[in-house]
Amino acid sequence: MHAITSQMTTSTLLLLLLTTLTLLSTTFAAVQPPSSAATICQYTPYPSFCRSTIPINNSTANVHDYGRFSVRKSISAALKFSALIDKYLRRSSILTTGAIRALQDCQYLAGVNVDFLQNTFQTVDKTQTALSTMKSEDIQTMLSAILTNTQTCIDGIQATASSWSSKNGVLAPLANDNKLYSVSLSLFNRGWGVKSKTMRSSRSSSPHKKLKNGRLPLKMSEQTKAIFETVGRRNLLQTDDGGDQVVISDIVVVSQDGSGNFSNIMDAVNIAPNKTKAEDGYFLIYVTAGVYEEYVNIPKNKYYLMIIGDGINQTVITGNRSVVDGWTTFNSATFIVTAPNFVAVNITIRNTAGAVKHQAVALRNGADLSTFYSCSFEGYQDTLYTHSLRQFYRECDIYGTVDFIFGNAAVVFQNCNLYPRQPMSGQFNAITAQGRTDPGQNTGTSIQNCNIRAAEDLGSTKTYLGRPWKEYSRTVYIKTFMDTLIDSAGWRAWSGDFALNTSYYAEFDNSGPGSDTSGRVTWPGFHIINATDAVNFTASSFVMGDEFLPQTGVPYNGGL
């Protein structure tokens, strides 16, 4: 499998390495012809910044040399910023709770950025030739996430700006770091990225590896549970054709009545093994029916973890954190996952803070190659935070009001039900608020073969398909049913003419009374696309679904 992983070295050793690396460390023959800084930098979003930051004075330097240099410089910047945040947090006695929580978010995100940059450098330092499609996508995904992480830190600091006077000491270096990371992404895409702008079509347009009866066999008998508790490695799920099987390495049961191994979910998560491999199979946590009032956090080292419940509205995980009550949006979530190759099935995740508490996240997902199947996410504003990396949702229910699917992952929703519900007085509903900040990011929200219908409590509130949260916001609706609740304009501006030229909003072959495009917005960023364009946003193309979804056992359509 190709999940993004990392191997950390100590900061001291890394800094020593960075200072001793020569500018042109490779001995490979140049694949790209030599270029000047002016020529290379003109292809980045910040040409003058690029020229002043990457002053390579060598007539034999090419785009790979510039790319390597920018990644090394990015690592140094990320380490310095991490140290800066640590310094601020040591002065926490003079900061408000809101400022401390925003800085703690930044501290975590800075560490993730260092991990991703180290992984990137290990790849680009070894080759000047084209990478495999999957490896190229992996690196572009990490570099895209670095920009997302940095922007998340900026948003959190700005949200608490009125509560501390020294905020510019954090925001100023972040602004430069963001430009540097953008340059690194642009140079990588030019030097090592997939050359064709048209993504490959899927292997099949029919459901791939669909399980028996189209569903996972989730009703576990006592005998089945006993088998998995006593025998370490078994094939739990099997496809119709007897081919791919979902391999389970171990199973634990969470039950509130004391009959399982644990009575709460986090105790089960904590004993899961760290950094397992694909061939080891999934560590399965079976959570029996019940309402679990706890905050679940699947950390980044718990690879290949699978959580299965007894069904939507049967196994329920619930919390009520919100921005109004002092949490950052980033850490208001009831359920957080950052571990690669995570799978969740048959659970409901709620945030019950209510519309009056504004931003209140049910699920925050920053897990690469993660999958949610037959799950429900319930909240109001900001219900589902598809924060970063590559994600897939199948046959899920999503309830919310303002921007209730938001973030900057590369994400595909397939065969899902989207339920706008009644917001606060004076508010409107926006289903999506996509947060792409850079044209080089491989991110966006794809909603395919879904259903958009009013929740039971929705009155006559105006409801829109989305609005541009960030400058290069990208959202596509494909073959989706849209009921009468969708406003004829379809999309709504964020503020004035912000991002109306640079965003990418598209519709293809949708149905229902709300899908009529004759009254849609006339922004330059809005498009009615054809099948050739739409296939770029399918599971196989947009999130590399053929590489990780078969192992999960979850059914999916690779193409249109």
Q: How many CB atoms lie within 10 A of CB 289?
A: 15
Tokens of 261: 């191994």
Greatest alpha-carbon pair distance for the chain in Å reads 72
First to last CA, the chain: 24
Q: Cite the active site residues.
A: 403
Q: How many CB atoms lie within 10 A of CB 126?
A: 11
Backbone angles phi, psi at 475, to 5 degrees: -145, 135
Label the pairing between strands 363-365 and 384-386: parallel
Helix 63-89 and helix 97-124: axis angle, to 10°? 150
Backbone angles phi, psi at 492, to 5 degrees: -130, 140
Q: How far apart are CA 401 and CA 399, in angstroms?
A: 7
CB 134 within 8 A of CB 200: no
Q: Spell out the SS3 assignment of 155-206.
A: HHHHHCHHHCCCCHHHHHHHHHHHHHHHHHHHHHHHHCCCCCCCCCCCCCCC
DSSP assignment of 127-149: -SSPPPHHHHHHHHHHHHHHHHH
Q: How far apart are CA 74 and CA 70, in angstroms?
A: 6
Q: Spell out the SS3 assignment of 491-557.
A: ECCCCCCCCCCCCEEEEECCECHHHCCCCCCCCCCEEECCHHHHHHHCHHHHCCHHHHHHHHCCCEE
CB 485 within 8 A of CB 514: yes
H/E segment holding residue 116:
helix 97-124
Bridge partner residues of 445 (DSSP): 411, 475
Tokens of 318: 């619930």
